[in-house]
A and B are shown apart, each in its own frame.
Chain A
């Protein structure tokens, strides 16, 4: 147990954990949105994220991006990456809904059927990219060179960490406002509370469901860009572990609860970095799941534990 390292650089490890958790949080929002409305886990969401990273990589490759571009080109690449990631992930998410869920929904299939089709589609997507793009890790150009922007004591905060955390929080706030303050958001909350009543009141249920898949996809696309900027790598199974962690984050924070997804993601990221620092990096998953189990023992609905529908109806 390396306590000296953990407490000697506690600030640094916390910042690392928050930056790591921000990406979990953005992906977790996709799980939580779908769960909040449909009460099912969209296991194909990890592949929605994966498609986003490849879209970002593809766009940068086509645009001829190289390492360390000037500030002007950097912004162009970031904007193009964001558009590409969001469009690809959003389209994938909507396609997942159309292919894996829509028909099952109209036929009133039992919830387990949704689970299996989602896992099936997830495998198809991941393996298709494995065959198409190869199974080896693929490097990306470094669009934003890491620089330290703040130095507080021995804690260095880099530009990419700052971008990741701030972007995650802003998108979370944006989504929260959208769900709680707009007309579309009211429709989402109505369907989450009671789909049949909402339909009687003139809410188009199909459109709401497509909307939540689209929103989840857009956020996953943004997460894909942030991931690409920060880690500069992707591969066909990149969504596999990340999706599992994001799902864990959603459960930890209280699945169905938007703010819970953010809290869960950040907490999970920090726990993992602490655990990896205390022991070795291959213990981080163990620590993450131990904490999940312990939290669920005492708060079965997660840390913030309320659902999308009941949150300020």
Chain B
């Protein structure tokens, strides 16, 4: 029960790894750590990115036989408590020269100071909370638009496409959900009529549904992940709530439509990630060939995150400090977008594309790119 699960979580399911430490001795190449929710309820969101990064490493090693890069996976289940001991382990193991991650905002926020102290550069494919780059952390970079941009796009979408007059805001009280809903709330102003906060692993949403009904909302915006959003939407629809539903990239996960069933039809999910066929180069084709399916959420971003670092290894960078400087100065076209970081670690906002996806028959269909007017 409660106590027991907490003990289990503390024990963690982390790869012990075989850090032999002699990788750094080679003239070229080195070792990267990648961490994120590779198992657990939200793994569906993260696996495409892991696959993208793996593919980038594989292609790099095939093309550069004299410059081998190895990548070691660390599973955090998306949980900040599990990410922290992993961060300490990676920081102390001097054979690791760079980090891909975190994939979620909470685990990134918890581990950023540890990696910064160790001088390890972090390149995140999918941690989008605005506050991550606002903290002045020198180590954190991301190849994805932040939630400030995504929230602004969502506000545009709610106003201009869904024509929402009364919007009900829900978040799950976590770093990512609270951040994006705050952004949406500011953007909507008086159109946001009411709100509620749910908690992780909640299963009964009667109180929230009553609030939605009394508010007379015509649109529901949800910041959080599938495990709560799917039952919430299902129960709301069963209770006769007709309001339109908009979620964010945390719900861009095949588990969301499968958990919510028919209730998910016509729900909108925004994501600062490209539809598979819009990615540059041969990425989509290669991914399809490698894994037998189209790249899902953040596949292209995972590939880009790895590529930024791999280019550094190829340029002969082989210390943590050199790689950090390399990423800071990076300036090149990636498959998801043009990649160049501003001093805070965000990618150039004008290069970020936010897409809306509509759920139809249990599948995400790319709908449109949301243009920001401001």
Contacts and interface: CB of A to CB of B under 8 A. Distances in A.
Contact of A281 (B39, B208, B234, B260): B208
A242 B255 CA distance: 22
Nearest to A233: B231
B217 to A, nearest CB: 13
Contacts of B239: 146, 158
Interface in B184-208: 195-199, 201-208
Chain A interface helix/strand/loop/mixed: helix
Contacts of A67: 261-262
A140 B42 CA distance: 19
B224 to A, nearest CB: 11
B259 to A, nearest CB: 4
A136 B2 contact: no
Given A67-B262, A122-B1, A238 B206 contact: no
B238 A232 contact: yes
Interface string A231-265: 11101011011111001000000000000000000
- How big is the A interface, by class? 35 or more
Given A16-B210, A20-B204, A146-B239, A139 B196 contact: no
Nearest to B230: A137
B238 A146 contact: yes
A251 B210 CA distance: 29
Given A123-B8, A277-B207, A281-B199, A137 B231 contact: yes
Contacts of B371: none
Contact of A240 (B1, B238, B258): B1
Interface residues of B, number: 44
B211 interface: yes
A139 B4 CA distance: 26
A137 B206 contact: no
A126 B9 CA distance: 13
Most buried by B among A120, A122, A273, A282: A282
A137 to B, nearest CB: 4
B1 A138 contact: no
Nearest to B202: A281
A97 interface: no
A282 B199 contact: yes
Contacts, number: 128
A19 B40 CA distance: 31
Interface string A2-27: 00010011001100110110000000
Contacts of B41: 135-137, 235
A136 B234 contact: no
Contact of B44 (A136, A238, A244): A136
Given A139-B261, A141-B261, A12 B1 contact: no
Contacts of A137: 41, 226-227, 230-231, 255, 259
Contacts of A193: none
A240 B173 contact: no
A5 B261 contact: no
A295 B52 CA distance: 55
B5 A123 contact: yes
Q: Which 8 A-B pairs have the closest CB atoms?
A: A276-B207, A282-B199, A16-B206, A280-B197, A136-B255, A119-B4, A233-B231, A139-B261
Interface of B: 1-5, 8, 39-44, 173, 195-199, 201-208, 210-211, 214, 226-227, 230-231, 234-235, 238-240, 255, 258-262
Interface of A: 5, 8-9, 12-13, 16-17, 19-20, 43, 46, 67, 119-120, 122-123, 126-127, 135-139, 141-142, 145-146, 158, 231-233, 235, 237-238, 240-244, 247, 272-273, 276-277, 280-282, 284-285
12 contacts: A43-B4, A119-B3, A136-B42, A137-B227, A137-B231, A142-B261, A146-B238, A231-B204, A235-B41, A237-B5, A276-B206, A284-B207
Given A122-B1, A244-B1, A280-B195, 17 more contacts: A16-B206, A16-B207, A67-B261, A119-B1, A120-B4, A135-B39, A135-B41, A137-B230, A138-B259, A139-B258, A158-B239, A232-B238, A235-B227, A237-B5, A242-B203, A244-B2, A281-B207
